[in-house]
Structure 1
Amino acid sequence: MNIAKFKVQPRVVYLLSNQYRSSEQALKELVNNACDADAEHVHITIPMELFSTESIIIQDDGVGMSANQVINDYLNIAYNRRARKGELTPFKKRKVRGHKGIGKFAGLVAASQMEVQTTHNKITSTLVINKDDLYNYDNDLEELNIEVISRASDNPSGTKIILSGLNQTLNLPSIEKLRELLIFEFGRQPDFCIYINEEKVTFEDIQGTKKAFTKRLNETGNITVSLVISDQKKSLKNPGLIIRVGGRVIGEPTFFGLGHESLVPKKFLNRIYGEIEADGLIEAVNSGWDYIYENSKGYAELTSFMKRFLIEELKSKFKDETIELENEILHE
Structure 2
Amino acid sequence: MPAAAATAELAGLLASTSVIGLSAAGQESGGSSGGFGGGSGGGGGPAHRRAVANADPTCGATLLADQCCQILAVMLQGLLAYGEARRGGSPYVALVCLMYTLTLALMLALPHVYWQNRRWLLPCTRLLAFSINTAWQTGVGTSLVLERAAQLGVKGVVGDVLRVAAGIRSMSILLVTIFTPLPPAATFVLHLAFLPMTSNARGYCATRLMSDPLSVRRQVNAAAALDLASLPLVALMPVAAGLINTPQAAASAPTCHATLTFFQILIILAIPLLLSVYSWRPELACSDSGGTPSESTPGKLRSLAARAGAAADSGLHRLLGGTSRPAVRCVVAYYALANLWIFAGL
Over alpha carbons, which structure has the higher Rg? 1
Q: Same fold (TM over 0.5)?
A: no
Which is strand-richer, 1 or 2? 1
The two structures have a TM-score, normalised by structure 2, of 0.23
Q: Which has the higher helix share?
A: 2
Higher relative contact order (CA 8 A, sep 6+): 2
